[in-house]
């Protein structure tokens, strides 16, 4: 279980090249041990049900005139239990690339961090930043090789590269689709309703941020597995910027304020002498 190759003396240049050079550099995919069981699928199903890895979410992203907007809620649920209301579901891969988290939290965190590493290595090897298409392809190819093993990820890779704004949807089935508007997660249908209704390509940045925030709010309102804080990021030519983070409970009263009820004048207490 313990990888002692890190102890190998670095002075042996050839030995470094021979023994898992790519492992040390981080370009080879990590190796995973599998349980020696006849029915792997059954084991995975039972293991997943037992450990209940955190999932449940609403995320969305869309391309508009000035760039890309990415938004998400922040709730993680383990079965019926809300394990966290403060999960970061928009992961900063690098200054120009954002990834979203939907499905298994550990899967998304691990593989998007791995993607960040590989993007950096690409920059070092090619002396230029990786494109959104390239980054999403790296992730999709990795996930394809684990297809059928029970990974659960529905992630969007959004960013700005030399050809302008880019948005791809990548999932754990190995699928990768380019698009202009996506919403992923248990609350995605609710978000689509609001997003599709209010979308105009030539919105201003502030209008786009408000649309995304509203869409996430409505999804958290109706979907039990979504909630917490609605975060909205904007990716433009200068890179990403977090535009807002609002508690959805407070957003509710901001969008639907409770009108003040008229109160009857109360009778003063009469003092008895």
| Angle at which helices 205-222 and 188-198 cross, to 10° | 150
Q: Are 68 and 166 in contact (CB under 8 A)?
A: yes
Options 12, 28, 37, 177; binder of other proteins; rule CB under 8 A: 37
DSSP summary character for residue 21: H
Please report whether residue 29 would count as binding other proteins according to CB under 8 A: no
Please report whether residue 54 would count as binding other proteins according to CB under 8 A: yes
Please report whether residue 215 would count as binding other proteins according to CB under 8 A: no
> Closest separation between CB of residue 1 and other proteins, Å?
7
Rounded to whole angstroms, the Cα distance separating 248 from 6 reads: 47
Options 100, 155, 220, 231; binder of other proteins; rule CB under 8 A: 231
Rounded to whole angstroms, the Cα distance separating 13 from 207 reads: 57
Positive/negative CA dihedral, 47, 52, 53, 56: positive
Please report whether residue 249 would count as binding other proteins according to CB under 8 A: no
Please report whether residue 246 would count as binding other proteins according to CB under 8 A: yes
Categorise residue 148: left if φ over 0, alpha if ψ from -120 to 50, beta otherwise.
left
Q: Which is nearer to other proteins, 195 or 229 (CB)?
A: 229
Rounded to whole angstroms, the Cα distance separating 75 from 72 reads: 9
Spell out, one character per residue from 64 to 83, where the chain touches other proteins: x when CB under 8 A holds, - when not.
Answer: ----------x-x-x--x-x
Q: Are 119 and 26 in contact (CB under 8 A)?
A: no
Binding footprint of other proteins, residue count (CB under 8 A): 51
Binding segment (CB under 8 A) for other proteins, from list 63-71, 160-168, 191-199, 237-245: 237-245
Catalytic center residues: 57
Q: Where on the chain is the footprint of other proteins (CB under 8 A)?
A: 1-2, 6-7, 30, 32-39, 42-44, 47, 50-54, 74, 76, 78, 81, 83-88, 104-110, 149-151, 228-229, 231, 242-247
């Amino acid at each position: 279980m313990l990888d002692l190759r890190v102890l190998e003396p670095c002075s042996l240049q050839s030995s470094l090249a021979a023994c898992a050079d790519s492992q040390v550099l981080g370009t080879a995919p990590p190796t995973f041990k599998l349980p020696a069981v006849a029915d792997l699928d059954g084991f995975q199903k039972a293991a997943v049900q037992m450990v209940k890895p955190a999932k449940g979410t609403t995320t969305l992203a869309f391309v508009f005139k000035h760039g890309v907007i990415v938004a998400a809620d922040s709730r993680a649920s383990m079965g019926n239990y809300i394990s966290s209301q403060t999960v970061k579901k928009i992961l900063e891969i690098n200054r120009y690339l954002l990834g979203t988290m939907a499905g298994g939290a550990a899967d998304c965190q691990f593989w998007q961090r791995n993607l960040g590493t590989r993007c950096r290595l690409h920059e070092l090897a090619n002396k230029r930043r990786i494109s959104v298409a390239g980054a999403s392809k790296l992730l999709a190819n990795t996930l394809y090789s684990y297809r059928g093993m029970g990974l659960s990820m529905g992630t969007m890779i959004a960013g700005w590269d030399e050809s302008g704004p880019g948005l791809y949807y990548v999932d754990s089935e190995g699928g990768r689709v380019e698009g202009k508007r996506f919403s992923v997660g248990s609350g995605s249908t609710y978000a689509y309703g609001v997003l599709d209704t209010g979308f105009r390509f030539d919105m201003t940045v502030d209008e786009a941020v408000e649309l995304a925030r509203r869409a996430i709010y409505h999804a958290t309102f109706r979907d039990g597995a979504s909630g917490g804080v609605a975060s909205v990021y904007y990716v433009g030519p200068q890179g990403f910027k977090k535009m807002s983070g609002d508690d959805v409970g407070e957003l509710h009263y901001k969008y639907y304020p409770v009108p003040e009820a008229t109160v009857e004048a109360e009778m003063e207490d009469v003092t008895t002498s």
